[in-house]
Amino acid sequence: RGPDMDELLRRTVAALPPYESRGISPALREGPSQEFVDFYRALETDGRAALLTKLAADYGADHGLVSQLCGQVTEGRDVDALLQAEARLRYSLTPRYKLLIGHICRLEGGVKFLVDLRADILQLLQSQSADSPQLREMNGILKMLLSDWFSVGFLNLERITWHSSCDLLQKISMYEAVHPVRNWVDIKRRVGPYRRCYVFTHNAMPREPLVVLHVALTDDIAKNIQAIVQYGPSPERSEDVNKITTAIFYSISTSQQGLQGVELGNYLIKRVVKELQGEFPHMKKFSSLSPIPGFTTWLLEILQIKEGKSNQIFTELEYKEIQDAIEGPVLETLKRLLSTNEWVRSDKLVRALEMPLMRLCAWYLYGEKHHGAALNPVANFHLQNGAVLWRLNWLADVSPRGLSSSSGMMANYRYFLEDTNHNSIQYLRSRHIEASEQILSLAAQCQKSSKL
Ligand SMILES: CC(C)(COP(=O)(O)OP(=O)(O)O)[C@@H](O)C(=O)NCCC(N)=O
């Protein structure tokens, strides 16, 4: 049996050298760091949870020393002494595990190991199976380091085409989280004419697309995803530049869970806008065509809560039209038809539902909040980037996936380049959502005719 965890940690997590010898370049601790990596990789989930919890709890900063040094940082001392005291205090706040992280990132494959280690920490924190303040602290420290290592200056923008390598095309297909790639024909279309696919890569993780952005080049803001992923132009077509005035971001996915919160997707969108403006100087419109995951579930909950009070959801006229379009008790039948996607087969019912569902969905995106942010994660992502909630599209995604997740609707989050910084600050600071007239009036109507 190999070393037990405590012994392994004692041996591989160096103590913080005394302040006086902090500058002396530490003996490169490749051996112990590699031993830690090998030991960790050999552990199963529970073992990893135990190790991470112990590492965070027992190998952080020396709290006794910190509080002792705090006492020496006092007003009134001469500047030199004060700065010395502050420097000692600052140094004493360095957790021991931060030195280990610094050594591991210098190993071959060390950065990728640390990205995966943070993914394990996030998994633990999300599953609450090990949720300690020290673990959250270690997650924060690791996230800050990763944000520095993966900042834009260290990332490489790569365009993926049909001539890219198979392993890259295969990874792009595998990572596609929004509109699954079914076969070679699919992926060939997504990198073919009137399409662009860009990724960020990092030299420390070669041949690994960290985040993938799929773009459609169109002459107006798209309102339907089937037109993009199902019926796109045939691969041998050439591009007519005069037909390209708009960029539609129709899918974005990150592949590394451990890089959550590093905002790679945001950076990639902004970087691709610059790239496209270089290729198409006359391009003026930039918008997403985004799914609205969670809306149908939310709607069914509302229908459940409003059992017997349908007048708090539908107007009388709407209720009557729905009643005419279905048999049986209205709310009961409607819940069934919505949860099985059958409703879309009846034109009459589709017409009767358009107004109420568009109104409810506009409110879901604009009005529903979670800790102050937009409840819908995709809305929150684009609004954080400074986009405008610009248009809601009916029957925009009639695939089973689109119907089940958002009753067929999709949203355009539009990027007005000169406003994104301002909008982002407004959203992050005062939770203000910039929205178009269509959205504002639909949301207002919802407030008026539905009591949610
Ligand atoms: C939407 C994505 C790309 C945002 O990533 P990113 O910009 O790195 O944000 P964050 O993860 O740093 O908060 C990411 O959350 C993701 O891959 N989501 C699943 C697919 C999707 N587009 O909703």
pLDDT digits 0-9 by tens, 210-264: 999 999 999 999 999 999 998 878 888 899 999 999 999 999 999 999 999 999 9
C-alpha 247 – ligand 1 centre gap (Å): 19
Cβ of 262 below 6 Å from ligand 1 = yes
Is residue 266 in contact with ligand 1, taking CB distance under 6 Å?
A: yes
Give the ligand 1 atom nearest the CA of 261: 12
Reduced to 3 states, what is the DSSP secondary structure of residue 281? coil
Res. 309 pLDDT band, cuts 50 70 90: confident
How many angstroms from the chain centroid is the CA of residue 138?
A: 21
- Ligand 1: distance of its center to the CA of 342 in Å? 31
Read off the pLDDT of each residue in 391-399 and give the average, rounded to a whole number.
98
Which of 421, 375, 152 minimizes the C-alpha distance to 265?
Answer: 152
Ligand 1 lined by 346 (C-beta under 6 Å): no
- pLDDT of res. 26: 65
Q: How confident is the model at residue 30 (pLDDT cuts 50, 70, 90)?
A: confident
DSSP H helical ranges for 93-154: 96-104, 110-127, 133-149
Look up tokens 């910190």; give the residue: 66
With a cut of 70, say whether residue 27 has pLDDT above it. Answer: no
| Res. 390: pLDDT tops 60 | yes
Closest-CA residue to 114 (of 136, 133, 139): 139
DSSP 27: P
Does residue 74 register a pLDDT over 90? no
Please provide residue 85's backbone torsions phi and psi, each rounded to the nearest 5 degrees: -60, -40
Give the closest residue (by CA) to ligand 1 atom 4.
Answer: 265
Residue 416: per-residue pLDDT: 97
Helix, strand, coil shares of the chain, percent, nearest 5, are 55, 10, 35
d(CA 14, CA 29): 9
212 C-beta closer than 6 A to ligand 1: no
Residue 449's pLDDT band (cuts 50, 70, 90): confident
The answer to whether 130 and 124 have CB atoms below 8 angstroms apart is: yes
User: How far away, in angstroms, is 253 Cα from ligand 1 center?
Assistant: 6
DSSP conformational letter for 290:
B
Q: Which are the catalytic amino acids? A: 290, 382
Atom of ligand 1 nearest to the CA of 265: 7
| pLDDT attached to residue 450 | 81
Beta bridge mates, 253? 212
* Confidence tier at 2 by pLDDT (50, 70, 90): low
Decide which of 42 and 21 is more confident. 42
Asked if the model's pLDDT at residue 1 lies above 60, the reply is no
Strands of 285-288's sheet, edge to edge? 155-159, 195-202, 211-218, 246-254, 285-288, 410-414, 388-393
Q: Are the beta carbons of 191 and 166 closer than 8 angstroms? A: no
Q: Is the pTM of this model over 0.95?
A: no
User: Residue 321 pLDDT > 90, yes or no?
Assistant: yes
Cα 176 to ligand 1 centre (Å): 12
The residue to mutate among 172, 174, 215, 253, having the most atoms of ligand 1 within 8 angstroms of its beta carbon, is 253
By C-alpha distance, which of 374, 151, 99 is closest to 259? Answer: 151
Rounded to whole angstroms, the Cα distance separating 385 from 266 reads: 6
- What are the tens digits of pLDDT across the range 326-351? 999 998 999 999 999 999 999 999 99
pLDDT of 3 higher than 70: no
C-alpha closest to that of 211 among 180, 176, 182: 176
210 C-beta closer than 6 A to ligand 1: no
How far apart (Å, rounded) are the C-alpha atoms in residues 131 and 125?
5
**Ligand 1 neighbour 178 (Cβ under 6 A):** yes
Ligand 1 atom closest to Cα of 385? Answer: 7
Residue carrying structure tokens 């205090």: 89
Pocket test for ligand 1, best of 118, 210, 254 (most atoms within 8 A of CB): 254
H helix or E strand, kind and range, residue 412: strand 410-414
Distance CA(397)–CA(341), nearest Å, equals: 12
Assess whether pLDDT exceeds 60 at residue 106.
Answer: yes
254 close to ligand 1 (CB < 6 Angstrom): yes
Helix ranges restricted to H, 306-412: 316-325, 330-339, 347-366, 377-384, 400-406
| Cβ atoms 215, 197 nearer than 8 A | yes
Cα 41 to averaged position of ligand 1 atoms, centre (Å): 26
Could you tell me which of 379, 376, 412 has the C-alpha nearest to residue 393? 412
Angle between the N-to-C axes of helices 96-104 and 110-127, in degrees from 0 to 180, rounded to the nearest 10: 130
Establish whether residue 417 lines the binding site of ligand 1, counting it when its CB lies within 6 angstroms of any ligand atom: no
Could you tell me how many residues make up the chain?
A: 452
